[in-house]
Amino acid sequence: MAAETLTANPPVDFQTAPEHYRHWTIDIEGPIAFLTMRVKESGGLFPGYELKLNSYDLGVDIELADATQRLRFEHPGVKAVVIRSGQERVFCAGANIRMLSQSTHAHKVNFCKFTNETRNAIEEAGETSGQRYIAAVSGSAAGGGYELALAAEHIMLVDDRSSSVSFPETPLLAVLPGTGGLTRIVDKRKVRRDRADVFSTLEEGIRGRRAVEWRLVDEVVPKSSWNETVKARALELAARSDRPDGATGVRLTPLARTITENTISYPRVSVTIDRGGRVANLTVLGPTTPAPATAAAALAQGDQFWPLAAARELDDAILHLRLNETEIGQIVIRTEGNPALALSYDALLESAASDWFIREVRLLWKRVLKRVDLTSRTLIALIEPGSCFAGTLAELAFTADRSAMVDGALSGNAGPAATIQLSPMNFGAYPMSNGLTRLATRFLGEPETVTRARATIGTALDAKAAAELGLVTFTYDDTDWLDEIRIMLEERASFSPDALTGMEANLRFAGPETMETKIFGRLTAWQNWIFQRPNAAGDDGALKRYGSGIQPTFDRKRV
């Protein structure tokens, strides 16, 4: 019965704000932000477990994701962020075991995915936003706690003979560091393979100088000079940042959102759920007014600046569908609006790319589009009369596994003819996890097609032109449109969801392997498999028997 606990609770809400945090605090000291983790034991997202030893659940990670986002938008003068513990003798014990043992499989996997997307956002902040992260590890950093530290650019470990880093999942829980831990120690930190093997089977972990020698941390610091050294290192990183001094940030206010049984509504995004067909119809509304003339004018609009507001709403909608609508297997993506107005915003995003605020808006769209790419649902884009697949919004069509476009008029739809329009933003601003643009990934063996597509920037491409360029999968006229779309959706709904998840995850990321594609590919494979195996999740498995004093019972066959 324990496994049913999470499904009996209200839907997960990904909105929060610092005044509602229970587990994190943000303290700003000039160019440094101290992000302190002090997890409230009784503050679990669901009942049935206590968050002891700074262990975390999805609720803790939702606050962390919110904090990292706010630091980028609300505090442009922050150039270095220190993640530290507010508890004695423990940095972070990782994902809460009781939570994992009672969670549904879908919750476990989506939890791991969201956690890792937050880690990626931390890494991106240092690489592209000039907001550099330091992990100040005092006490034990175990499992996901060490994975949190691994997301930082620089890891400091206090030398007090007890503080350590460890990956105890294999010996204790029969699972793996599932949010990128194994990949990051060998690909990012370049730990030797044999040493990584030893490290990942040591329950007690590694501390002191040995942790530095094995490249598990960057430095160990005596306890007597810990606070001073942490601050000094943060100031060194801050000095290398290009974030502005004295700039005014943008407050991220709560989203205007209404949720009913079958709808999710925002000012710029709407979702309607067809439960019988297991389909979510997601529509993004383009802007209704031209873009402001300058970056300063965009900043003055705050979080109502259309690209920022639309990205936040789309992100929230995708997360809601992921976690709270697990039986909805397909997301049908539509857009509505005036392509010319959408392209006016793209022009500003391109011309003012060096402005700190515009840069953050562009980077937010990059992260949200990656979130769409990594969502384990079939994605189908429908380009219909009155649609607005232009520039940045055209990327939504390129995230899709399939797309269909109306050729000509459509009965019951009096909108302008369906078109796709490209902008410079489609050719570098929004790389996927593989490091390529969606068009470069789409045309991996046809670089000349990308060149042809670039030559059409600003041109309204009708169904015939879009098909000739390979920008859509199918084109149908009014006679066939409704039947062909119905057949496509019904056929897809008849397939195994497990097979589709594996197929889509394999096909979406053609091209070069990166640390990010490895992490998510392995997450899709090993977590979907290992988290369901009796050795971990069975009644006699390690997750269920952890802390009971009874040894788990393992099926010893290697497969």
Question: Per-residue pLDDT tens for 82-117?
Answer: 999 999 999 999 999 899 888 888 898 899 999 999
Residue 4 has pLDDT above 50, yes or no: no
Tell me, yes or no, whether 249 lies in a domain.
no
Provide CB contacts within 8 A for 545, sequence distance 6+.
551, 552
- Is there a single domain that holds both residue 231 and residue 298? no
Look up the pTM and report it: 0.95
Supply the range of the domain harboring residue 440.
Answer: 258-507
Residue 341 belongs to some domain of the structure: yes
Residue 336, domain member (yes or no): yes
402-441 residue pLDDT tens: 999 999 999 999 999 999 999 999 999 999 999 999 999 9
Could you tell me which residues come within 8 angstroms of residue 128 by beta carbon, excluding any fewer than 6 positions away? 359, 363
Contact 46, 6 (CB under 8 A): yes
Say whether both 176 and 293 belong to one domain.
Answer: no
Same-domain status, 85 and 155: yes
CATH number at residue 167: 3.90.226.10
Q: Which residue has the tokens 């993004």?
A: 284
Residues 125 and 95 in one domain: yes
State residue 54's pLDDT score: 97
Out of 507, 523, 547, pick the residue that ends a domain. 507
Say how many domains are in the chain.
2
Which DSSP state fits 559? -
Of 238, 272, 301, which marks where a domain is finished? 238
Residues 179 and 54 grouped into a single domain: yes
Asked whether residue 64 falls in the same domain as residue 184, the answer is yes
In a domain, 228, yes or no: yes
336 and 438 together in one domain: yes
Residue 171 lies in a domain: yes
Q: What local confidence, expressed as pLDDT, does residue 6 receive?
A: 43
For residues 175 and 27, membership in a common domain is answered with yes
Instruction: With a cut of 90, say whether residue 33 has pLDDT above it.
Output: yes
Which residues touch 523 (CB under 8 Å, ≥6 apart)?
109, 112, 113, 116, 178, 179, 180
Could you tell me if residue 375 is inside a domain? yes
Contact of 54 with 38, CB cutoff 8 Å: yes
Looking at residues 536-540, what average pLDDT do you find?
85
Is residue 530 included in any domain, yes or no?
Answer: no
Token pair for residue 548? Answer: 């009971």
> Quick check: 450 pLDDT over 80?
yes
> Residue 180, by phi and psi: left (phi above 0), alpha (psi -120 to 50) or beta?
left
Residue 556 lies in a domain: no
Q: Residues 362, 436: one domain? A: yes
Q: What is the pLDDT of residues 47-84, one digit of tens each?
A: 999 999 999 999 999 999 999 999 999 999 999 999 99
Concatenated DSSP letters for 2-37? Answer: GGGTGGGSPPP-----GGG-SSEEEEEETTEEEEEE
Residues 191 and 265 in one domain: no
Q: Are residues 215 and 284 in the same domain?
A: no
Report the C-alpha gap between 420 and 406 in whole angstroms. 11
- Same-domain check for residues 266 and 216: no
